[in-house]
Amino acid sequence: MASFIPVSDQSDFSFFNLPWGAVRWTDDSVHLATRIGDTVVSFKKLRAAGFLASFPELENETFNAFIDRGTAAWSAVRAEVSGLYAEGSAWEANAKRGTCEQPAAAVEALLPVHIGDYTDFYASRQHATNVGMMFRDPENALLPNWLHLPVGYHGRASTVAVSGTDVVRPNGQRKGPNDPAPVFGPSVKMDFELEVGIILKGGPRDASWIPVDTAEDHIFGLVLFNDWSARDLQQWEYVPLGPFLAKNFASTMSPWIVPYEALLSSRCAGEDQSNPAPLPYLQQNRAGSHWDLELEVAIVCADGSETVISQSNAKYLYWSFAQQIAHHTINGCIIQSGDLMASGTISGNEPGSYGSMLELTWNGSKPITLANGGKRAFLEDGDSLILRGWSTGKTRIGFGECRATLLPSKPWSK
């Protein structure tokens, strides 16, 4: 089925996508919306025109209450919008249609959910191995627990921002291995992390858990996610409880949530987990446990030149999202609608598919040469970091850009 709205074959927002988003409308009000090509469609305006009558939650400023409605409601909204905007629909010539649409360039994308909690996992085997080789024993790069459970830790939801929000270089303590004492100042090893995140529907509230076999019923949709990292601050502070100031200063999320339903044709097999086999609560059929999503990272310098520095794929994750959800809730932890879980850095097996500057430059020892002739060991002020992602099926389904520009640190004085 095609739409009467023209969409380029290279657009991330094909008629099969119909992502979930929030925008500031031209009258400065906030609207939940979807997108077809370069056209943004307001759910609030569609309801005013007499459609989507069963879904008053779509007049809110975030999707949280709508997410509570579950998979049947999500599918029903997508089906109604698909019917309205299909070729041959009477809606094309309806005088009210113009009030429901705006060009994407005319509206400001906003964070489409209130994120109550955010959990960052560490689910890429190659990334965990690379980090272990750099900072621990190369012969035993993975810690003993890594192949038995999805390692994760809690991030800071208050500093998750929508794509386009600038990031300020953080200040903090750092201490090199040969320094006699720590010093305070701006991070000198600013990094990105290439991740895919999931926006969740709430779960049980009675200390029971979400089984791995039904975990995907709780995935509202997927996003691109850059969990910025100050590697020098992290190296000094992470023992014994893990990163703190090195990670909680900023994370960037793509503005359009790609619906779970839209990506079903992009499922693929996950890595073999037979040696060792996970414990029973984590065991999952691996035939379609993952998503085949092409991922790309680019640096845009202050002069406007762009260099693609990494090309990876979501299929390189070892632990699936279903396993992450099951593990997260097996102890009775309550998941709330709008919560975010991120995959952790996604790295493939080849250097060009690594998902961080830490790996791409091997902790700064092998700087990257950019298109303008410059070099980067880590990110510099004025650099814009862009994540892109799309499905590999017959019809392109993408996320749009996940972009942020790194600004200089704030001056500090006592």
Span 88-117, pLDDT tens digits: 999 999 999 999 999 999 999 999 999 999
Classify 18 in phi/psi space as left (phi over 0), alpha (psi -120 to 50) or beta.
left
Q: What is the mean pLDDT of residues 322-344?
A: 98
Q: Check pLDDT > 80 for residue 77.
A: yes
The pTM for the full model equals 0.97
Quick one: which of 243, 273, 226 has its CA closest to 135? 243
The percent of residues in the chain predicted with pLDDT above 70, rounded, is 100
CA 104 to chain centre: 20
What's the pLDDT score for residue 413?
82
Q: Which two tokens stand for residue 303?
A: 């002069």
Spatial separation of the C-alpha atoms in residues 58 and 60, rounded to whole Å: 5
Is 154 among the catalytic positions?
A: no
Beta bridge partners of 39: 36, 103
Beta bridge partners of 312: 295
What's the pLDDT score for residue 1?
82
Query: Count of alpha carbons within 13 Å of 234, Cβ hemisphere only?
Result: 18
Q: Which two tokens stand for residue 63?
A: 């999707």
Total number of residues shown for the chain:
414
Q: Check pLDDT > 80 for residue 273.
A: yes
Write down the catalytic residue from 127, 218, 290, 327. 127
**Identity of residue 315:** K
Spatial separation of the C-alpha atoms in residues 112 and 252, rounded to whole Å: 13
**Residues ≥6 apart with Cβ < 8 Å to 53:** 47
- Asked whether 120 and 344 are in contact (CB, 8 A), the reply is yes
Q: How far is CA 155 from CA 66, 128, 310, 339, 380, in A?
A: 24, 18, 25, 11, 24
Could you give the maximum distance between any two Cα atoms of the chain, in Å?
74
Q: So where are the chain's domains?
A: 21-110, 118-407
**Residues ≥6 apart with Cβ < 8 Å to 239:** none
What is the full DSSP assignment across 283-347? ----TT-EE-EEEEEEEE-TTS-EEEEEEEEGGG-SS-HHHHHHHHHTT-PPP-TT-EEE-----
Beta bridge partners of 373: none
Mean pLDDT score of the chain: 97
Q: Which of 280-286's residues contact partners 24+ apart within 8 Å by CB, and which partners?
A: 281/209, 281/211, 281/212, 281/326, 281/327, 281/330, 282/149, 282/150, 282/212, 282/323, 282/326, 282/327, 283/212, 284/212, 284/213, 284/320, 284/322, 284/323
Question: Could you tell me the fold of the domain covering 118-407?
Answer: Fumarylacetoacetate hydrolase; domain 2 (3.90.850)
Categorize the per-residue pLDDT at 137 as very low, low, confident or very high, splitting at 50, 70 and 90.
confident
Q: Which two tokens stand for residue 175?
A: 């201490």
- Asked whether 35 and 41 are in contact (CB, 8 A), the reply is yes
Choice among 52-66, 93-107, 187-201, 381-395 with the minimum mean pLDDT: 381-395
Gap between the terminal Cα atoms of the chain = 63
The two beta strands, 118-121 and 384-391, are unpaired
The architecture that CATH gives domain 21-110 is Roll (2.30)
pLDDT by residue (tens digit) across 221-251?
A: 999 999 999 999 999 999 999 899 999 999 9
Residue 157, phi then psi, degrees to nearest 5: -65, -30
